[in-house]
A and B are shown apart, each in its own frame.
Chain A
Amino acid sequence: MRRPGCWIGVSLVTFVAAVAVAAPALAPQNPYASGVDMLALPSAAHWLGTDDLGRDVLSRVIYGARASLPIGLGGALVATAIGVPIGLIAGTLRGATDVALAALIDLFIALPGLVLALIITVMVGANLRNLILVLGFVMWPPVARLVRGQALALREALFVEAARAMGGKPLWIIWRHIWPGVLPVVAAQFSISVSFAIFTSASLSFLGLGIPPPAADWGGMVRAGYDYLAINPWFSLAPGAAVSLAVMAFYIIGRSFR
Chain B
Amino acid sequence: MLRLIVRRILLMLAIALAVSALLFFTVTRLLGSPAEMMLGQDASPLAIARLNAQYGFDRPAVIQYLHWLGGALTGDLGRSYTTQQSVAAAIAARVPVTLELSLWSVALAVTAAVVSNTIPAMRRPLQGVVTAVNLVGITVPNFMLGVSLIFILSVKLNLLPSTGWVPWSNGIGAHLRHMIMPVLTLSAYYFGAFSIVYRAEYQAVIQRPFIQVARAKGLGEWRVAFRHAAPNAILPVITFVGISIGQLTGGAVVTETIFSMPGMGRLFVSSIESRDFPVMLAVGMLIVVGVVFANLLADIGYGIVNPQIRDPS
Contact = CB atoms under 8 A, between A and B. Distances in A.
Contact of A229 (B141, B144, B150, B250): B150
Contacts of B26: 123
B306 interface: no
A237 B288 contact: no
Interface stretch (A41-49, A55-63, A107-115, A175-183): A107-115
A114 B272 CA distance: 13
Contacts of A111: 246, 288, 291-292
B139 A247 contact: yes
Given A99-B313, A107-B292, A112 B141 contact: no
Contact of A248 (B7, B23, B139, B287): B139
B140 interface: yes
A206 B254 contact: yes
Given A112-B249, A208-B273, A203 B295 contact: no
A112 B147 contact: no
Contacts of B253: 114-115, 118, 207
A251 interface: yes
B105 interface: no
Contacts of B191: none
Contact of A107 (B11, B27, B142, B251): B11
B150 A206 contact: no
Contacts of B247: 112-114
Contact of B291 (A110, A243, A251): A110
Looking at chain B's contact residues, the main secondary structure is helix
Interface residues on A, range: 35 or more
A39 to B, nearest CB: 14
B250 A114 contact: yes
Contacts of B151: 229, 233, 236-237
Given A115-B253, A207-B253, A244 B140 contact: yes
B141 A202 contact: yes
B27 A123 contact: yes
Task: Pick the most buried of B26, B250, B254, B312: most chain A CB atoms within 10 A of its CB.
Answer: B250
A112 B280 CA distance: 15
Contacts of A223: 143
A55 B139 CA distance: 28
A116 B289 CA distance: 12
A102 B313 contact: yes
Given A236-B147, A240-B143, A113 B246 contact: yes
Contact of B250 (A112, A226, A243): A112
B287 A112 contact: yes
Given A98-B313, A112-B248, A207-B253, 9 more contacts: A112-B287, A112-B291, A115-B253, A115-B268, A206-B257, A229-B150, A237-B148, A251-B138, A251-B139
Interface of A: 98-99, 102-103, 107, 109-116, 118-119, 122-123, 195, 199, 202-203, 206-209, 219, 222-223, 226, 229-230, 233, 236-237, 240-241, 243-244, 247-248, 251-252
11 contacts: A112-B249, A115-B268, A118-B253, A203-B250, A206-B141, A207-B254, A236-B151, A240-B148, A241-B144, A248-B139, A248-B140
